[in-house]
């Protein structure tokens, strides 16, 4: 029994996959080495998991919260601090993950 509705759904626009480095999102089950599937968009709702560009060079995966022209990029691992900024650029909303089952071993 295999349902290919999600994998081949023409209504989902996945043009970007980003490899996750680090453990800042383990509370949302996004692990080091996973690939996040991203629907490109320049904005997202509070609480959405997004990928964002920081300082024109660093890409990060975090939960987005907006308030008073500032955004907070919130990690789900309590060992990391939130990023509060005005300058992050939202690249897209995370809509899924791809993970190798063999622990990344080839």
Of the residues 19, 62, 67, 81, which is catalytic?
62
What is the length of the chain? Answer: 106
- pLDDT in the model for residue 101: 77
Note if 62 is an active site residue: yes
Q: What is the CA radius of gyration of the chain?
A: 14
| 27 phi, psi to nearest 5 deg | -65, -20
Residue 59 belongs to some domain of the structure: yes
Is there a contact between 32 and 21 (Cβ–Cβ < 8 Å)?
A: yes
Note if 24 is an active site residue: yes
- pLDDT in the model for residue 2: 40
Residue 47 belongs to some domain of the structure: yes
Q: What is the pLDDT of residues 34-82, one digit of tens each?
A: 999 999 999 999 999 999 999 988 999 999 999 998 999 999 999 999 9
Q: What is the pLDDT of residues 9-40, one digit of tens each?
A: 556 666 788 899 999 999 999 999 999 999 99
DSSP of 9-68, one letter per residue?
Answer: -TT----EEEE--SSTTGGGT--TT-EEEEEE-S---TT-EEEEEETTTEEEEEEEEEET
Cα separations in angstroms, 20 against 8, 17, 27, 70, 77? 23, 10, 14, 25, 14
* CATH number of residue 51's parent domain: 2.10.109.10
- pLDDT in the model for residue 3: 42
Number of domains composing the chain: 1
- pLDDT in the model for residue 29: 96
Q: Domain of 75? A: 16-98
Of the residues 10, 19, 24, 66, which is catalytic?
24
């Amino acid at each position: 029994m295999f349902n290919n509705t999600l994998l081949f759904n023409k209504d989902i626009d996945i043009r970007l996959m980003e490899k996750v480095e680090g453990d800042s999102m383990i509370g949302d089950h996004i692990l080091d080495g996973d690939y996040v599937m991203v629907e490109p968009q320049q904005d997202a709702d509070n609480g959405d998991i997004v990928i964002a560009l920081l300082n024109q060079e660093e890409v990060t995966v975090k939960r987005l919260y907006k308030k008073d022209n500032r955004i907070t990029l919130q990690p789900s691992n309590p060992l990391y601090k939130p990023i509060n900024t005005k300058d992050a650029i939202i690249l897209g909303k995370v809509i899924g993950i791809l993970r190798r089952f063999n622990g990344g071993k080839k």
